[in-house]
A and B are shown apart, each in its own frame.
Chain A
Amino acid sequence: MRKTLEQVIEAFRMDEQFKDQIEHVRVIPATAGDYAPLPADLHPKLRSALEKRGVVSLYSHQREAYQFARSKQSFTAITPTASGKSLCYHLPVLQTILENPSARALYLFPTKALAQDQKSSVNALIDEIGEPILSYTYDGDTAPGIRSKIRKAGHIVMTNPDMLHSGILPHHTKWVSLFENLQYIVIDELHTYKGVFGSHVAHVLRRLQRICAFYGSHPTFICTSATIKNPKQLAENLTNTTHQLIQKSGAPTGKKTFLFYNPPIVYPTFGIRRNAILEVKEIAKHLYESKIQTIVFAKSRVRVEMLVTYLKSLTAKRINDESIQGYRGGYLPSERRAIEKGLREGTIQTVVSTNALELGVDIGQLQACIMTGYPGNIASAWQQAGRAGRRQEDALVVYVGQSTALDQYIMNHPSYLLKKSPEEARIFPENMLILLDHLKCAAFELPFKTDDFYAEFDVEDFLDFFVEESILIKTSDTWHWMAESFPAHEISLRSASQENVVIIDQSVPTKTRVIGEMDRYSAMTLLHDEAIYLHQGTQFQVEKLDWEEKKAYVTEVDVDYFTDANLAVELKVISEDKERQFDGFVVDYGDVMTLATATVFKKIRFGTHDNIGSGPIHLPPEELHTSSTWLSFEFPDGWKEEELSSAMTGVAYAMNSFIPLYIQSDRSDVHVVPQVKAIHNGQPTFFVYDRYPGGIGLSERVYDLWEPLLERVYEHVEACPCQNGCPACIGAQDAGETGKEHVKQFLEKVLKRG
């Protein structure tokens, strides 16, 4: 019998099986919509096309967007899932093209799947308008036969940053129609352009603007983003333009109930909880039987498959029952439309997906969402949670925590998830290596004249450097490209160093293919022989890392453990650029040189975190010159070196877990290293450095955040229910029974926290 969601939630909370694990319940009340009339100047065909779809008025944010766009004001809109974000750009773009058929727009999406979806949806709208407006995707999959047409006549060109970087900008003379008439550049999912990738894209956009100026156009930027702390700052850094910010969504929302569900502790000494996936199974089953349309997010394909298999066993007796669907990345638009349809018609009941689905791709809305663990940042968490809730109906989100520090932190601080995001997305276009790489591309694209700037950068010295390198030659007032190479091919947008390790999947011997790249530094600890490497939710094992050739050969596997490698790091301070004090401590920011040697790796079982094996790593040490912040203090009285070392290791582990709370970064972007006796001053020191040559701006931010970071560590260790330390707080320690005590004492007495 079909119950209302309200009833199901009540029943769930009372259920013997579940009720003790529900640590918190939070309800976000429904909100009314904030509406605005359709703009008066709207082209009649556009107006009637909208009306045919039932759009008779706009949400306030859509109207604001239209106004900004039409008055040529660049802006960024925060657009939660299901808030009609695409009209924020389609509307002003289509209106402009209808008024002036030679106008053009460029849409940037981070993935092809998103681009394809948006192309389908805008083409549907264009069909209803009934005017000849041409909209195409232009990427690696575009058939050669229509490329010429798109270049000459495409009103809306949809592409991704990689294609723009190496397929369009270096061939800009073939795109004269586009660049001469470019009115709008749409950047969707702005928050994905962070870290190294975002820094690269910031340059691609600067090169784009330079080329537009050459052809005489000055396009307006339209950006949409999920919730981050600093959307305006990110947008302005990314595009080198001033933005207005649209913060509030006018879309109405239904009541959302959040259940924070913590699996029971099964090993109290170690603080280990029951495997989250087992809990998720039960909850999903319960919702299925209550006939609530649910989406379940799991972290890897293996887990997705496990859940789908388990849930399908519930329907085994019914023939042709499609009610349980697994979703992985790489589905065609037609397959996604089929899922959407199934959900609408009620034939699909439960969708189980990896995090691949979270990136804005539309499959319709569901009633409930189960999150297996914290997806690592708030924007992703909200994109997952945002899948639950059809306009103005009730929704349920169940967050199931795993045994990691971050997950447990969220479990204990529900307001972190529910309030405005404190996570910043940072980019660092000033990174020297990245800047030089793109300056080369810019010089290839259009010669620089003396007194020319490259965006906000003064680059004469760099251009002269390129002359010495026989890449450019200088005539009286101009630097010309004079080399055989094609610089865009020498850069990977997702890495800061050249000479990346290429990852080759040889699971099928006759069909080996490159699945990704990784910078050398990270490769040492993530791609060593026998490492388990997770790629878009699929597990691979590294069969061989050919360091000479910079190739890692991997095969798909299905195992129940992960690997963790130790890095022995020697650190040397090269320069101090900033210094400040707090509570008697000195913190600095500057350049460091690290020499890292990967030594051994451990195999650690999921869930229990047992150490089930280990092995040596045979790789030469890697040097890394980067930015770092560090905190030094006097060697405390009464402490033995061993004790101090172990306590500092625990604190470093915890710090590493919490940095992502403040800055959107992966654990591998920043590295925390404790040293009992630092080389530069002989004192115990915590180093936090960027894992990319030249620095990427993250440690610079941490320089300002030492106090809250240490507070957070203390609170968390204090509150952790384990006895002697666990992966959820200070890491699985070998220090026996006193490890956690020492850390607490260290934090209280030496670092004066609490």
Chain B
Amino acid sequence: MVSINGTLLFQFLNFFILVAILAKFAYKPLLKALEDRRNKIASDLDEAAQARESAEKMKTDYEAQIRNARAEAQAIVDKAVKQADKEAQAQLNAIRNQITREKEIAQAEIANEREAAIRAMRNEVVTLSMAVAEKLLKKNMDTDMNAKLIADCIEKLHAQKAKGN
């Protein structure tokens, strides 16, 4: 029942033939498939890590860009506000100057007008006085009055002559 015989030799050979067949037709493709899969997973993981890294870098870049853009926009707005203030101030000053100038011109004109009015009034008064005087003179100049006037004049002349002597 238990004996060692020629079967041992055959089993030895059988085993090595089986090893040779399996090594060529089964293990080679199988180990290659396993190795390929391992490499693929490793490279996929690498790629994923790289993609993640680049995405993070991109994110940082974009954030920096957004920060810069925001700062630039703020600067532009600040500048515009400043410029607008400046321009408004300048316009205000110009208007103020113009108003002052126009006021001066108006005052000068008013003064001229008044002067002219006063002058005209004076002339008018003189003319009126003269007319009144003329009327008065025309009305009251009769012979008695004339004689009296002449007499007065002569008297005054005499008086002056006597003073002069």
Note whether A and B form a binding pair.
no
